[in-house]
Structure 1
């Protein structure tokens, strides 16, 4: 048996969830935006993990089917390919059997050959149905942005695999137990011309099958190349998304630190505001007290002004009375002095000089009193 051992190692990449934004007094719009982004990243991560698991399962099924096909003996593979002859080959075979009827003599052998060919056609249909379940599967896979990528799959090539199998066959050689019975189910007594026609028909059918196989191989190789390019694009997209995620995480960390600083500043401002409100309240109380005291002082001042006006009038009256009284007193004093002088002149003539001196003093005093008034 010839087996092809293929091992794949998968590297899974998943979108890591972004950390929860800090709870606090941040703006409602930015907080909702961060929560929405976080939920979107979680949903994408879950979808990518599910698609990755599905892709891994499909790849394991393909590898298992391929190993089953490759582990089968070469003889069974050749027989399975022989069983996949379509109705065109059966028509050619039936035409060859008609010519065999005309060339061969015993009729019983021809009848047996026809029955064997019909049995072979029936078994070919069964083999076609059985072999269809062994064919490799290449389902249409909707690859996500972040999938499990086989590392050895990038170096896979059908041409390399075929060359490797041919090299193994050349080294080991074709097994001796392969049953190369081309005329299985046909009588050995047929002529050379019928054999040639049968072989030509079989060769034509095998050539068509080979062309189909080559076409399928080329098609699969093109699909593999397309998948490689898609995987490369998905890797680049995944790297871009990882960079954006890292950038968003750094931005969220910055926003978190800024939010904490703003919370601290807000707490300080809140304390300052509360102290300012207390001071304002005390100042309002003082202002009310000052207003009440000012109104009381204004009332008192008004009363004092009224009393001052009264006292002013009384003072002016008293001053006028004082002036009159002072003049009367001065006149009385002057007259008294004059009378005394006269008395002195009368009584004592020898004191004349002293009387004159006293009279002059009396005049001076009267003048001083007049000036003061």
Structure 2
């Protein structure tokens, strides 16, 4: 009976140890789950941000496409005008060349926008890091500027006092001059 009791006690200890291990595993799993939930929420917000950036880029692309269509229509009108007005052919050619250059430039911009739309996700992370560094730098500059402004305010106060003293001295000199004139006038 004692041997059975000892083996049962040993079995109970093993089960207790196993329970403790399972509890610690459960705790670790819960912590991992909360960490992953936080990570998922951050990634969802970033995905929303990238989605908004993508929508903005698409709107810009649509606007540029409409501008390209409008420029192409203008180009067709310019060709018609060129046929009708042979006397103003040189001026029309200049305008046509400008319109073609603008159309090419807008097409190039459109292609750049399409390409940059693909690179926005990577660039955004770099931009965030750069902005953080710039923000720290600007905070430091802000502190320096505030200190400079405080020093300037002190200097302004000192200058105002000096100005008051100079004006008071000038008033005193006027009164001395008038007094001297009065004495000279009284002697005459």
TM superposition score category, shorter chain reference: 0.3 to 0.5
TM-score, with length taken from structure 1: 0.22
Q: Which has the larger radius of gyration?
A: 1
TM-score, length-normalised on structure 2?
0.42
